[in-house]
Amino acid sequence: MFHVVINFCQNVKLQGVRISAPGNSPNTDGIHIQMSTGVTVVNTKVATGDDCVSIGPGAANLRIENFACGPGHGISIGSLGKNVNEPGVQNVTVKSTTFTGTTNGLRIKSWGKPSNGFARNILFQHATMNNVQNPIFIDQRYCPDRNCPDTASGVRVSDVTYQDIHGTSATEVAVNFDCSKRNPCKGIRLDNVRLTYNKKPAVASCANADGTTIGLVQPGSCL
């Protein structure tokens, strides 16, 4: 299920960790962090069949730096909002990361149903994408099951910055902000994002997302 779990902890440091599982192995998250504060993950490499890092409810003041992911499902905040009453995620910095052949790069995911959860004050900085299917993805209709609720996510996503994100996408849509109709994403910031698909600028898709762009942004912003 999970290789490493950090749950109800304070001031934990993971350094020089190596995790390896087949890319087709289900539910083999590399590192799962929830209900914890002051967690640092540095100089770590994860190859797995699910999220390289999954950040669950109640995670705060988290830093991930010098991290390599692939294969796997990327670094994911969530899934959030599975329960109505749920603590949020805040003050997360993810910097100097490399994703190779992953299904996602930098992802925020929440269930499409009522919840008082949130994800705010998130910084994604200095990321390299190598043939990644969804390099930048906010998915507020996350539902891995067949019986999916047909309601808007109650999770509030705000103040998320993507700075110096570059590389190649395995799909045409490299930036996908699929936010909640009930609680649109606010304060999304794209700062020097350069993503290509088949040696051409990739495409961006936005729904219920508001924000700004700074510097060169490819694909062109839909915010």
Question: CA-CA distance, 94 to 70, in Å (whole number)?
Answer: 16
DSSP notation for 102-145: -SEEEEEEEESS----EEEEEEEEEEEEEEESEEEEEEEEE--S
Structural tokens at position 25: 């192995």
Question: CA-CA distance, 157 to 211, in Å (whole number)?
Answer: 12
Structural tokens at position 48: 């797995």
Question: CA-CA distance, 203 to 175, in Å (whole number)?
Answer: 7
Structural tokens at position 111: 């269930």
Other C-beta atoms lying within 10 Å of the C-beta of residue 26: 8
Judge whether 68 and 42 are in contact, CB under 8 Å. Answer: no
Judge whether 79 and 94 are in contact, CB under 8 Å. Answer: no
Q: In whole angstroms, how large is the CA radius of gyration of the chain?
A: 16
* Catalytic-role residue among 3, 73, 126, 166: 73
What angle is formed at CA 181 by the lines to CA 73 and CA 195, rounded to 5 degrees? 40
73 is catalytic: yes
Question: CA-CA distance, 103 to 64, in Å (whole number)?
Answer: 19
Active-site residues, by number, are 73
